[in-house]
Amino acid sequence: MTKWNIKQPPMSQSCETALESGGLDLILVPGLGFTSEGHRMGRGRGYYDTYLAKCRASQPSPPHTIALAFKEQVLPEIPTDETDIKIDIVLTAE
């Protein structure tokens, strides 16, 4: 279990990693807030931005990125920096 109580396989278990087996076509990216231009606010640790950068560097074409959001999460602007990677599509019920 992770600190968020999410079950995951034990570290001793062998598993295939996506980047070593051809890459990913699509990644659903979580966030606390988004802009309609694709900027994303996460939890401040940079995990998804780091992983997306690694995907872009290790596969021939970058994966498509989609965020699922409530309309209240889409804001006119959010703080960003140079390491933030924009999301391709932010989907809401509208």
Q: Classify residue 74: in a domain, yes or no.
A: yes
pLDDT for the residue 88: 97
- Tens of pLDDT along the chain (94 residues) come to 788 888 887 878 776 687 777 788 999 999 999 999 999 998 888 889 999 999 899 889 999 999 999 999 999 999 998 889 999 999 999 8
Q: Classify residue 24: in a domain, yes or no.
A: no
Q: Which domain holds residue 55?
A: 33-91
Q: Classify residue 48: in a domain, yes or no.
A: yes
Q: Classify residue 10: in a domain, yes or no.
A: no
State the pTM of this model.
0.78
CA atoms of 89 and 51, how far apart (whole Å): 18
Token reading at 71: 């309309």
Q: Classify residue 6: in a domain, yes or no.
A: no
pLDDT for the residue 11: 77
Q: How many domains does the chain have?
A: 1
CB-based contact 35:77 (threshold 8 Å): yes
